[in-house]
Amino acid sequence: MALQLRTAFSNYNKGIALAAAATASTTLALFQYKSSNTKCDDDILHSPSYPWEHLGLVSSYDCAALRRGFQVYRQVCATCHSIQRVHYRELVGVTHTAAELVAMASEVDVMDGPNDEGEMFERPGKLSDPLPKPYQNEEQGRLANGGALPPDLSLMVKARHSGQDYLFSLLTGYCDPPAGKSMLPGLYYNPYFPGGAIAMPPPLNDDGVEYEDGTPATISQQARDVVQFLNWCAEPEADARKKDALTYMLVLGFTAVMTGYYKRFRWSTFKTRSISYVK
Ligand code: HEC
């Protein structure tokens, strides 16, 4: 009887172990699955998958890249795009020091008010202000860009399929249209943009910005940096979240081991007893 009980329990444990292994391998397989095939009837070239270092389970953002990316945004993209969900104060300790950001914010004139006389007034920007918008309203943005509105980039990485890979491919993917493809005036050929014709002129040029840390400002370097910065804008809590998750996993792991040990301890009397029937 004892033997039967023991066999039943060890089979039960084996069943759990098998189920756990199957779940783990399925999850791993799903993680590795990337749908980067291009089908014949697609009107878009799918972006390849790039090895972004900050996406690792225990890796963090590269602050030097974020600082360079913010520089690319300010000097290139900010002419047409806003990042209205990010405030100067949120960049403190991420891309620049508080003093640098105070100086940077104060260069911008911000409309505030009304004052005691009911008038709106202009004042120098403060840390609590959002990053400035290039256009006052949507109509102005459309007018300046041939009818196409440059979208806000705060959550752009989350708003597009394969976010960072797509953005990197879009910024580096401008090329001549294939033979037979005619482009309307004001549109540029980019195979990664749905339909292939985008109203954004190629924004990046080699040495278009001059990095203060001396990094060569190639197109792909600028694209990589600005995409990392835009990823931070969409997910500024990623580093803290990974750190918390690691702590939780360690604590949960410890609890699981202790629970297992405790279960064996409590059951040991049942598992080791022998029952004999005496007439
Ligand atoms: C000269 C103005 C201009 C500049 C500079 C510019 N953009 Fe754009 N951008 C546009 C316009 C206009 C659109 C809308 C395109 C469309 O809908 O055809 C756009 C669209 C986009 C999109 C959305 C594409 C999509 O899938 O809908 C992204 C992402 C983007 N820009 C990123 C950037 C980045 C990053 C920079 C800086 C490196 C930049 N842009 C610089 C004008 C600009």
Q: Which of 229, 201, 225, 232 minimizes the C-alpha distance to 211?
A: 225
Per-residue pLDDT of the chain (279 residues; tens, 9 = 90+): 445 545 555 555 666 666 666 666 665 555 555 445 656 667 789 999 999 999 999 999 999 999 999 999 999 999 999 999 999 999 999 999 999 999 999 999 999 989 999 999 999 999 999 999 999 999 999 999 999 999 999 999 999 999 999 999 999 999 999 999 899 999 999 999 999 999 999 999 999 999 999 999 999 999 999 999 999 999 999 999 999 999 999 999 999 999 999 999 999 999 999 889 998
So where are the chain's domains?
A: 39-86+130-236, 237-279
Position 1 scores a pLDDT of 46
Q: Which atom of ligand 1 is nearest to the CA of 222?
A: 38
Instruction: Give CA–CA dist 14/16, Å, rounded.
Output: 5
Rounded-to-integer distance, Cα 60 and Cα 231, Å: 12
Does residue 79 line the site of ligand 1, with CB under 6 A?
Answer: yes
Note whether 65 and 225 are within 8 A (CB): yes
So what's the pLDDT on residue 40? Answer: 63
How far is residue 238's CA from residue 59's CA, in Å, rounded to a whole number?
10
Residue owning tokens 């993209």? 77
Are residues 76 and 209 in contact, defined by beta-carbon separation less than 8 angstroms? yes
- Whole-prediction pTM: 0.84
The CATH number of domain 39-86+130-236 is 2.60.40.420? no
pLDDT at 44: 82
Quick check: CB of 141 below 6 Å from ligand 1? no
Q: Rounded CA gap, 31 and 47, in Å? A: 17
Taking the CA atoms of residue 272, residue 273, residue 277 and residue 278 in that order, the dihedral angle to the nearest 10 degrees is 120
Atom of ligand 1 nearest to the CA of 204: 38
Q: Which of 45, 36, 81 is nearest to 196 (CA)?
A: 45
204 CB under 6 A from ligand 1?
yes
The three-state DSSP-derived secondary structure of the chain is CHHHHHHHHHHHHHHHHHHHHHHHHHHHHHHHCCCCCCCCCCCCCCCCCCCCHHHCCCCCCCHHHHHHHHHHHHHCHHHCCCCCCCEHHHHECCCECHHHHHHHHHCCEEEECCCCCCCCEEEECCCCCECCCCCCCHHHHHHHCCCCCCCCCCCHHHHCCCHHHHHHHHHHCCCCCCCCCCCCCCCEECCCCCCCEECCCCCCCCCCCCCCCCCCCCHHHHHHHHHHHHHHHHCCCHHHHHHHHHHHHHHHHHHHHHHHHHHHHHHHHHHHCCCCCCC
Q: HSE-up of 42 (CA within 13 Å, CB side)?
A: 13
At 43 the pLDDT is: 74
- Ligand 1 centroid–CA 42 distance in Å is 22
Neighbours of 40 (CB within 10 A): 4
CA angle, residues 71, 75, 90, in degrees to nearest 5: 45
| pLDDT attached to residue 32 | 54
Please check if 200 is assigned to a binding site: yes
Q: Say yes or no: CB of residue 156 within 6 Å of ligand 1.
A: yes
